[in-house]
Structure 1
Amino acid sequence: MRSIGEVARDSGLGVSALRFYDRAGVLVPAWVDPASGYRWYGDGQLEEARLLTRLRGAGMPVADIRLVLAGWSGADPDLVRRLLTAHLRRLEAGLSRARAEFSTLLALLDTRENPMTSVPTAAVRLSVSATGLAAALDAVRFAAGTDPELPMLRGVLFDVEGDGLRLVATDRYRLAVARIAVTGHSGARTQVIVPSPLADAVRALTGSKETVRLTVEGDGLTLEAGDRQAAGRCLGHEFPDYRRLVQVPSGRRVLVEVPAFREALRSGPVRASEGTEPGTEPCVLSVLRAVDEDTVALCEEGDDEPDDVALNRAFLLDALSAGARDRLILEFGAPTAPVAVRRPDEEDAFSLLMPVRLDT
């Protein structure tokens, strides 16, 4: 007999996935301990689990997977072949439809006018607190993307409007926003995407003066701190409309003591994410439960409730550090909605973290 942990390790399926397929009647363990509920599998079931891993990776529906496993042993190989062929045809048809839809969407994008595409022709000059700019960059820089397929996310958006400068960064799975006051700007809204290396160079100069000057001219940005400056070209891409991305319904708010919560995350129970959702990579998850206004519990494996939220632990630790406060607010909505990390004294600086599904 093999334990559920051994089957998970040797098959490539996670423990949570094995539990899911047990409940679905797809791969039922050979024996379940009546006292502890612990699952045990026979030697022959390891091959079935490995087959299940491949079928799952190909996106086969659970109903078809059940039939494939039933016929795999040789009882009905023709049925298995027909099911595999039918699923492959569905995938090919779906890909063809997706290509047609995306071609239409790309054509619409080519003809759609977007005011964010215009490069400012007149120079925009403003003054800003050096410490405020440093704090804002520290609050968002961790969320900047690195995916070469999404160059528009590989930097920090500088969004100047009225007397404020918002800095925004996102890699799709997390988003961070910070706002600081500026002086000297009275023109139209101006947005530029500052590439991450230039943003880091700007951050390095913010400690030398009390006030620094920012200039945006064409596709270039310059920061002057006394007789020192950092300058470079901005990214010639569109940044997502972050104002739509941050429209998350408010939920339960929990005030956490950051040092204690950080230590609990580092030493507490974790799960392994298999990275099964498109674009995701395997990672370590912490599963959170909002107990009351000042308590967030870390959930053990097998102790799940419908409102629990699983987050990438490394991303959550980064957001806590970027929050730069001994106390931060965690705001929970639905289990599938982003979790907000907010400062109690500053609503204009916050992070959003996308949850990760435990089962598929």
Structure 2
Amino acid sequence: MRSIGEMARDSGLGVSALRFYDRAGVLVPAWVDPVSGYRWYSPEQLEEARLLARLRRAGMPLADIRLVLAGWSSADTDLVHQLLEAHLRRLERGLSDARGEFSTLRALLAHRENPMTSIRSATVRSTALSSELAAALDAVRFAASTDPELPMLGGVLFDIEGETLHVVATDRYRMAVSRVAVTGHGGGPRTQVIVPVPLVDAMRALLSGEEPARLAVDGDRVTLDTGDRQAAGQCLGHDFPDYRRLVHLPAGRRVLVDVPSFEEAVRTGPVRKSEAREQDGQDGVSYDLTVLRVTDDGTVSVSGDGDGVDEGTPVAVNREFLLHALAAGARNRLVLEFGDPTAPLAVRRPDEEGTFSILMPVRLES
């Protein structure tokens, strides 16, 4: 017999998913301890659990999964074949419809008068303090994507408008924004370029002290020089998402946290395993989740299964991403801003509203 934890490990289904499928009557444990309530599974149920995990990854509806498992256990191969073929046809129709919608969206984007981000042909020059630009890049670098399928996110957006430079990075699951004061651009046109991550890292290596850092954008080429040192290269020829729209969040509940103690609580506290899903170009990735709760007295705690069920709505985020955001915040105290459970969690500096990161929440299975 396998415990629910062993079954989760061997089958690819999370513990919460196994509990859900038990309640739904899809995969019922062979025995449940009447005293402790612990679920136990027979050896032959492992094959069914692995099949269930595959069907779920393929997006099959629960009603059909129940029939497939019934046909599988009774060796009714005709029924299983029919259900699989029917689901495959649904997926193919859905893909065809999605391609049509995306074709329409591309046409609409091509005709927009104001594209989200454009590489400018005019030469633009601006100057910032090296220390301030270094701090801004450090605050956002962690959020840049490594997904080869989304090359437009494989860099940092430099958005120059008036006397302000915003640097922005995102991988869809998190976004980081920082703001730097610049001179020299004045009333010039807003200029946006996507600087590839390797060039961003080369620029960061030049920045030290309080010397001026001069940034020049000439068509699709960007150059940063600090005295007698220079880093230059081609910008990415892609459009970047409209970050201003994405970070325009409704006001939420703000909680000031002591970063060293909160980091320790996150590192050593309880975690939940996410459901396996695509993340940053990887299929079927499962990762550790930190579940946070805000109590009535305005404190935030790291919650485990069943902890604090009456103490606020839980918000689950990728633990590694949360630790990255706390480190990038570069303060001993940071503000966590909670909206509703489906709203992003914002990590803000209490003394600098223009630098912050947001983390997308992860839906918890019952």
TM-score bucket of the superposed structures, by smaller chain:
over 0.9
From 284, 290, 294, the equivalent of 2:288 is 284
CA contact (8 A) 2:177 2:355 kept: yes
Stretch of structure 1 that moved more, 124-133 or 311-320:
124-133
Q: Which amino acid aligns with 2:215?
A: L
SS at match of 2:140: helix
Specify the alignment match of 1:327 in structure 2. Answer: 333
Q: Deviations over 1:199-250 (max 9, x none)?
A: 1121111105432222222222222212222222211111110011102222
CA contact (8 A) 1:145 1:170 kept: yes
Specify the alignment match of 2:79 in structure 1. Answer: 79
Specify the alignment match of 1:157 in structure 2. Answer: 157
Specify the alignment match of 2:269 in structure 1. Answer: 268
What CA distance in whole angstroms lies between the structure 2 residues aligned with 1:63 and 1:323?
46
TM-score between both structures, scaled by the size of structure 2: 0.92
What CA distance in whole angstroms lies between the structure 1 residues aligned with 2:96 and 2:119?
36
CA contact (8 A) 1:209 1:226 kept: no
**Structure 1 residues 303 and 26 mapped into 2: Cα distance closer, same or farther (>3 Å)?**
farther
Q: Deviations over 1:45-89 (max 9, x none)?
A: 222212211211221111121222223222754433332222222
Specify the alignment match of 1:299 in structure 2. Answer: 303
Q: Which amino acid aligns with 1:48?
A: E
Q: Which amino acid aligns with 1:289?
A: R
The number of residues matched between the two structures is 360
Stretch of structure 1 that moved more, 170-179 or 102-111:
102-111
Root-mean-square deviation (CA, aligned residues, Å) is: 2.1
Specify the alignment match of 1:234 in structure 2. Answer: 235
What CA distance in whole angstroms lies between the structure 2 residues aligned with 1:290 and 1:323?
20
**Structure 1 residues 287 and 62 mapped into 2: Cα distance closer, same or farther (>3 Å)?**
same
CA shift, 1:195, in A, is 1.1
**Structure 1 residues 34 and 167 mapped into 2: Cα distance closer, same or farther (>3 Å)?**
same
CA shift, 1:41, in A, is 1.7
SS at match of 1:56: helix
What CA distance in whole angstroms lies between the structure 2 residues aligned with 1:137 and 1:293?
35
CA contact (8 A) 2:117 2:192 kept: no
What CA distance in whole angstroms lies between the structure 2 residues aligned with 1:31 and 1:304?
29
Q: Which amino acid aligns with 2:290?
A: S
CA shift, 1:292, in A, is 4.3
Q: Does 1:30 align with 2:30?
A: yes
Q: Which amino acid aligns with 2:226?
A: A
Q: Which amino acid aligns with 2:294?
A: A
CA contact (8 A) 1:130 1:206 kept: yes
Q: Deviations over 1:2-48 (max 9, x none)?
A: 21011111211111110111122211222223333221122332222
Specify the alignment match of 2:142 in structure 1. Answer: 142
TM-score between both structures, scaled by the size of structure 1: 0.93
What CA distance in whole angstroms lies between the structure 1 residues aligned with 2:295 and 2:202?
42
Stretch of structure 1 that moved more, 341-350 or 274-283:
274-283
Specify the alignment match of 2:51 in structure 1. Answer: 51
